[in-house]
Amino acid sequence: MEHKEFAEVSLSGDLPHQTTPDLAQNEPEASKNYDHSMWNWKDIRRVLLAATFTPTWLPAPWNTPLVGYLASLCLPALMALFTMFVLHIFPTFFLRGIFALSSVLLVALLWGTGPGLVATLCGTILLNFLLLSPSFTWNLSSVQPVLETATFLVFGIAICLIVSRIEYARSHAERAHRQIQQLVTQLEQEKAQAAAQANELEAIVTAIVDGIYVYDSAYHVRRTNPAAQLFNPYTQQGDYLDQPYPDRFSAFFLRDEQGQPLMRENLPVTRVLQGEVLVGSHTVDITMRTVDGEDHIFNVSGAPVRGQAGDVQGAVVVMRDVTELRRGAQRTRAALQALLQFAEALVQARITQKQILENDGEENNGENGIDMVAQRLAGLMSQVVGYPFVSLTVFKEATHELQSRAIVGMSTEHEQAWRERQPGFTVHELVAGTSIERRIIAGEAVILDLREPPFAGRPNVYGSKKLLLMPMMLEGRIVGVVTYDAGDPSHDYSEQEIALARALAQLAALTVERSRLFQERTEAQASILALRETNRLMDEFIGIAGHELRTPLTTIQGSVQLAKRQINRALKQQASLPGEVSAMLTTIQGHLERTERQIRMQNRLISDLLDVARIHANRLELHPQLCDLLPIVRESVEDQHYLAPARTIELTTPVTDEVLVMGDADRLRQVISNFLSNALKYSEADKPVEVCLELAGSVVKISVRDEGPGLSREQQQRIWERFYRVPEVEVKSGSGVGLGLGLHISRMIIERLGGQIGVQSSPGQGSTFWFTLPRAEPD
């Protein structure tokens, strides 16, 4: 039914707009503001439509309002004709309006109050016009027609009103029924939803790995999940639940984070039932001994369950097993602390040169500086990974030798055998020559199960079952192997553990390599210090020996010169001497001249030794002053002419004026003499030696060129070193005596005078030694 309040509309004239939405929407807005004091066709139509309902059980198009109003006109007319037919057959039939009232009842029941009232009006008219005497005449002059007409009209209106109330009650009943059906459907849906949520919540609680305990206000456990039953299976036993609180927890040895027993007031359940909320940072860690006899660490959180009045009616406590997490954190903290200590030891260089030298020079259980580092590193790695057994074996690439460096977790006797690499005490013996060895050399981690073939039947002095072999790689090459043993045969090395072991192996490789380099540097420094000390002692010895040699040599030179003077005086009296004596004196004079030349040569060598000692003791005295370089060069050439009159020495100089420099004249003569003596010594007797003095801008350049064997590039770099003599170079003329000091001394002199020195040479093409000095102005 679309219309629900037709009775009220038909009586009061109010129009409920919700019953005629189509008409109200199709009308113009101006038509809605009609004047209620005047009625027109639209008002009548709205009233009639509002007082009409549509029977749902009639097929279309019989269930429309138009059909109802047509029926209200046609059915009374048909009933009137039928009544006239009945009166014609039964003239005494006195219920002349019964059939018209039946049509009114039928129309009212089928189509509503509006069509019923129209049928009543039509029936009244037809009753008075057709059925009352005289027929076909409107007659209200007597009492009987008036009463019959009024009675028909009253009964028709009453029928319409009764039908209206019936329909009103029926529509309300149907609406109430629909509302009840909706409520029942909603309740069923909510019940199904609640059941689904309950099942979902049950599945969630069951799937949670944390233990959930639901307590009432009397400390009784009302509900637990499977995880909680694993922690405490006694919650399913009645005798356990019957025990008073907190005696139920006595078997679990509950302790706080400091390991102290938990009192009743500090138990998490007590605190939560007292209204405290344990979430976030307020959660507590407790240690509990589970049914398997092991101590586990649980993180406990919880919240009270409150009623509508805010009172605590229960508690929900959640326990999470954080044993591995806390112990892992403790291991991490311990490892980090050990790592920091090790890094601090390396940064502060606690393994110093002195310690390494002391350990290298003393018996210290076979340990040297690298072993000390490796042993400390092995202890650190054992703390980080938590394995009781860790060993470090170093691979020497040069000799392909394996050296046992450090080990943790082994008895002293076994450790000694392992360090000595006795048969049966090294893992390398098991994998040597196998694919496992090739995998390790390639840098691959290997898990070695000694309980499986081919290792099951071999002797195992350590009792290890499963080992992790991790290569120590450095720049793509293997430098050693780290061996880990977790101590538990059932332990499986996870990817995280292997990654951590690999990182530690890399750290071990870098640390051991650093220690090796540090030790080599320390040894090199010690060698340098020893060499420096040796040089110092040698310089002292040279100085002392030079002075000690020069003193008797000076005496010898004086005696030789005195003997030569006496022989010269005797030879002046040659006429008075016998011929034999004169010949003898001439022979002796030749011997003395050769002796004097040897003395001058020895003097020169001693002077070179003393100069070297003075240079390295920083005591070489120079007396720079303004001097003319041209006469110095000429005098040096003349001196060499005097010593080697048979050799050709050519002096070339484009200048005739003085060439002033700030220098020590004696030391400059010494440098030029060194250049000339070397050129004469290592060139053929018939080959000339060229000396050139030239001006090159603000400097003066002196060069000495010979046609000797020449020098290679390496020899040119080394000839300035102290005591260096070019090997396999034949002395062409003069004495081969020399200490390899002349060029070294010359370089020191020129550089200290602010000049530069060098050589230009090629093998087989002779050599040109040169030096330059800054020019000086006369003022």
Q: Is residue 373 part of a domain?
A: yes
Q: Is residue 695 part of a domain?
A: yes
Residue of 600, 601, 602 whose CA lies nearest to 561: 600
Q: Is residue 535 part of a domain?
A: no
Q: Is residue 198 part of a domain?
A: no
**Same domain (yes/no): 435, 296:** no
Q: Collect all residues with Cβ–Cβ distance below 8 Å to 505 and sequence separation of at least 6.
A: 470, 471, 472, 473, 482
DSSP string across 283-343: -EEEEEE-TTS-EEEEEEEEEEEE-TTS-EEEEEEEEEE-HHHHHHHHHHHHHHHHHHHHH
Based on the structure, what is the number of domains in the chain? 5
Instruction: Give the pLDDT of residue 776.
Output: 85
**Same domain (yes/no): 587, 722:** no
Q: Which of 321, 345, 371 is the last residue of a domain?
A: 321
Q: Is residue 193 part of a domain?
A: no
Mean pLDDT of 748-753: 88
CA distance 386 to 383: 5
**pLDDT tier, 13 (very low <50, low <70, confident <90, very high otherwise):** very low
Report residue 33 as tokens: 């503001």
Instruction: Give the pLDDT of residue 732.
Output: 66
DSSP state of 721: S
* Segment of 239-253, 415-429, 571-585, 625-639 carrying the highest mean pLDDT: 625-639
Which domain range does residue 443 map to?
A: 330-526
Q: Provide the b/e sequence for 593-605 (b: ≥16 CB within 10 Å).
A: eebbeebeebebb
Mean pLDDT of 140-164: 78
**pLDDT tier, 755 (very low <50, low <70, confident <90, very high otherwise):** very high
The strand pair at 211-216 and 221-224 is best described as: antiparallel
The answer to whether 614 and 620 are in contact (CB under 8 A) is: yes
How distant, in Å, are the alpha carbons of 48, 56, 64, 68, 116 from that of 61?
Answer: 19, 11, 6, 10, 19
Q: Backbone dihedral region of 764: left (phi > 0), alpha (psi from -120 to 50 degrees) or beta?
A: left
Task: Please say if the pLDDT value at position 67 is more than 90.
Answer: no
Mean pLDDT of 404-409: 84
Task: Please say if the pLDDT value at position 281 is more than 90.
Answer: no
Task: List the CATH number of the domain containing 255.
Answer: 3.30.450.20
Half-sphere exposure (CA, 13 Å, Cβ side) for 563? 17
Mean pLDDT of 203-211: 82
Mean pLDDT of 365-393: 74
What's the chain's average pLDDT? 76
Please, what is the Cα angle at 67 between 65 and 71, to 5 degrees?
115
Q: Collect all residues with Cβ–Cβ distance below 8 Å to 142 and sequence separation of at least 6.
A: none
**Same domain (yes/no): 364, 232:** no
How distant, in Å, are the alpha carbons of 102, 441, 525, 533 from that of 528?
Answer: 140, 37, 5, 8
638: Cα separation from own chain's centroid: 80
- Supply the Cα-derived Rg of the chain in whole angstroms: 65
Instruction: Give the pLDDT of residue 339.
Output: 64
**pLDDT tier, 772 (very low <50, low <70, confident <90, very high otherwise):** very high
Instruction: Give the pLDDT of residue 703.
Output: 94
Range in 44-48, 295-299, 669-673 with the lowest mean pLDDT: 44-48
Mean pLDDT of 203-210: 81
pTM: 0.40
**Same domain (yes/no): 457, 570:** no
**Same domain (yes/no): 498, 572:** no
First to last CA, the chain: 137
Q: Which of 526, 547, 581 is the last residue of a domain?
A: 526
**Same domain (yes/no): 703, 738:** yes
Range in 6-15, 438-447, 456-465, 763-772 with the lowest mean pLDDT: 6-15
* Positive/negative CA dihedral, 675, 681, 685, 687: negative
* Segment of 29-43, 370-384, 599-613, 652-666 carrying the highest mean pLDDT: 652-666
Report residue 218 as tokens: 């009397």
Instruction: Give the pLDDT of residue 612.
Output: 64
Whose structure tokens read 């009784």?
Answer: 220
Mean pLDDT of 672-687: 87
Report residue 356 as tokens: 């390494």
**Same domain (yes/no): 655, 706:** yes
**Same domain (yes/no): 224, 314:** yes
405: Cα separation from own chain's centroid: 31
**Same domain (yes/no): 256, 352:** no
Task: List the CATH number of the domain containing 350.
Answer: 3.30.450.40
**Same domain (yes/no): 629, 605:** no
Q: Collect all residues with Cβ–Cβ distance below 8 Å to 7 and sequence separation of at least 6.
A: 113, 161, 164, 165, 167, 168
Q: Is residue 478 part of a domain?
A: yes
DSSP state of 27: S
Cis bond upstream, residue 61 (ω within 30):
yes
Q: Which of 577, 610, 643 is the last residue of a domain?
A: 610
Task: List the CATH number of the domain containing 683.
Answer: 3.30.565.10
Per-residue three-class SS string for 553-569: HHHHHHHHHHHHHHHHH
Mean pLDDT of 689-701: 91
Q: Is residue 755 part of a domain?
A: yes
**Same domain (yes/no): 481, 342:** yes
Q: Is residue 579 part of a domain?
A: yes
Task: Please say if the pLDDT value at position 369 is more than 70.
Answer: no
Alpha helices in 208-311 (DSSP H): 226-231, 238-241, 268-273
**pLDDT tier, 773 (very low <50, low <70, confident <90, very high otherwise):** very high
44: Cα separation from own chain's centroid: 88
CA distance 422 to 161: 122
Range in 48-52, 374-378, 643-647 with the lowest mean pLDDT: 48-52
**Same domain (yes/no): 752, 770:** yes
**pLDDT tier, 33 (very low <50, low <70, confident <90, very high otherwise):** very low
Share of the chain above pLDDT 70, in %: 74
Mean pLDDT of 30-57: 50
**pLDDT tier, 354 (very low <50, low <70, confident <90, very high otherwise):** very low
Residue of 446, 451, 416 whose CA lies nearest to 428: 446
Q: Backbone dihedral region of 666: left (phi > 0), alpha (psi from -120 to 50 degrees) or beta?
A: alpha
The strand pair at 767-774 and 295-306 is best described as: unpaired
pLDDT in tens, 92-108: 777 777 887 888 888 87
**Composition of the chain by helix, strand, coil, percent to 5:** 55, 15, 30
